[in-house]
Amino acid sequence: MTAQPLQGIVVLEFSQYLSGPSAGLRLADLGARVIKIERPGTGEAGRKLAIKDLWVDDNSLLFHTINRNKESFTANLKDADDLYVIKQLIAKADVLIHNFRPEVMGKNGLDYASVQHINPRLIYAEISGYGKKGPWKDKPGQDLLLQAMSGLAYTTGNSGQAPVPFGISIGDIIAGAHVVQGILAALIRRQKNGKGALIEVSMLESLLDFQFELLTTYYTTQQQPLRSAVANGQPLLSAPYGIYATADGHIAIAMMDIHVLADTIGCFALHAFHKEDAFVQRDAIKTALAVHLQQQPTAVWLRMLHNAGLWAMEVLNWQQLTTTAAYQTLQMEQVVLAADKQIVTTRCPIRINGKRLMFDRPAPQLGAQNESIRQELSAAMK
C-alpha cells in the first residue's frame, strides 16, 4: 500500500495554468483530496493550453499531466447559490490555493479575511506574479516575463549573446513548490495551535530566491556577475566549469584544478595559465580547452576524466537518457489512463519509507464530481 501522509486533508484549488495546479498536484501525490473549483462550461484556462497541439479528449495533454488525481467541481462565483455551496466547501476544507490576480478572490468575498470567518482553521495559500503591493502588482504573472524581469535570463548563455530563458516554466514550478512548503509548515503549526494561516508566494520572489548565490554576490560587490564568453556554466565559477563540444557530442565539466585537467587529457596549453588565474583568465582557458576537446569523441574524454576521479558527464538528450540503466532504475515513469488512452508521464519524485508515490487516476472531466460533492454536503447537513 502506497504511503499517503496527507490522506484526509481536503484542498480546494482555485487555480489555472501551472503554478497553482502544480502545487495541487504535489499535494494530491502526497495523499490529499484536491478539488478543482472551475468555471462552468469552459473550466480553468489550462484545459485549452496545448503544447505542440497535443490533446487527450477535449483537454490538452498538459492539463492532464498537471491535474491528475484531482476532482472537478464547477461553480459560477457570481451566482448566489453556487457561491453558497463554495462557502460550504470552504467550511470543511483544510487548504485553499489560488493563483489569480490579488483582487479576484476579494470581489467574490473569498479573500483570506472573509473566509477566516467561515473557517478559522483554513490554510489559505495564494500565488501572485509580483506580490499584492507595489508598482508591478498588476503586471501579468507569466513565466517568460518573470524570467526576463527577475534577471534570470542573464544567468544563461555566453556573454555577448542575447539573454537566454530557461526551456521550462521554471518560475511557475518553483512558486508552486514554495507554496507547498508553506502549506505543509502551516499544517504542522495548525496541529499544534489549531490556527489557520495565510501563505503568500509570488513568482518574482521565488525566482529571486532561486538566484540567491548570484544576488548575494551582487549585494556584496554591487557588480553584475559576468557570464563566460565561452562555455558559460555558472557566472560565479571559474574555468573549466561549463559545457563543451566534442568530436561527436558535448561534455559537461565541473570544478577541477586546471593543471590536473591538463595532464589528464593532454591539454598542455592549460599549463600556460596559473591556477589562481582560473577565474580572471577563464575565457582564454576555456577557449584553449574547447579547441582541444573537439579532437576526440565524448567517450574517450570521459574515460580519461573518470579514471582520474574528475567530475564530468556526457550531455544527454531525452532519448539517450531514457535508455540508460541509471534512468530505468529510478522508475520515474507512470501511466495515467485518460479517455481510454494511456499517458506516460513522470511520477512524484518523493519516496516515503522506500515507496514511490504513483497514481493512475487521470485529470477530471469538467464538473465530474459536482453531483457527488453536492450529495456529500447535503448529507453532512442532516
pLDDT digits (tens, 9 = 90+) for 182-230: 999 999 999 999 999 999 999 999 999 999 999 999 999 999 889 999 9
Using only C-alpha atoms, the chain has a radius of gyration, in whole angstroms, of 25
Question: What are the tens digits of pLDDT across the range 79-104?
Answer: 999 999 999 999 999 999 999 987 88
The residue to which cell 491535474 is assigned: 67
Domains and CATH numbers, the chain: 10-210+349-381 (3.40.50.10540), 242-322 (3.30.1540.10)
Burial environment of residue 176 by CB neighbours within 10 A (0 to 12, 13 to 18, 19 or more): buried
State the pLDDT at residue 2.
Answer: 53
Nearest in space to 174 (alpha carbons), one of 131, 213, 206, 216? 206
Which range, of 103-107, 320-324, 364-368, averages the lowest pLDDT? 103-107
Cα 44 to Cα 74, 83, 138, 335, 343, distances in angstroms: 10, 17, 20, 24, 21
State the pLDDT at residue 61.
Answer: 92
Is the previous residue joined to 240 through a cis bond, with omega within 30 degrees of 0? yes
Question: What are the tens digits of pLDDT across the range 14-63?
Answer: 999 999 999 999 999 999 999 999 999 999 999 998 888 899 888 999 99
Q: In angstroms, how far is CA 253 from the centroid of its own chain?
A: 25
Question: What are the tens digits of pLDDT across the range 293-307?
Answer: 999 999 999 999 999
Q: Which residue has the higher pLDDT, 341 or 323?
A: 323
**Helix, strand and coil percent figures for the chain, each rounded to 5:** 40, 15, 40
State the pLDDT at residue 381.
Answer: 82
Biggest CA–CA distance in the chain, Å, is: 85
Percent of the chain with pLDDT strictly greater than 70: 99
Distance in angstroms (rounded) separating the CA atoms of residues 261 and 245: 16
User: Which residues are catalytically annotated?
Assistant: 172
Inform me whether the pLDDT recorded for 1 exceeds 50: no
Region of 252 (left: φ > 0; alpha: ψ -120 to 50; beta: rest) is beta
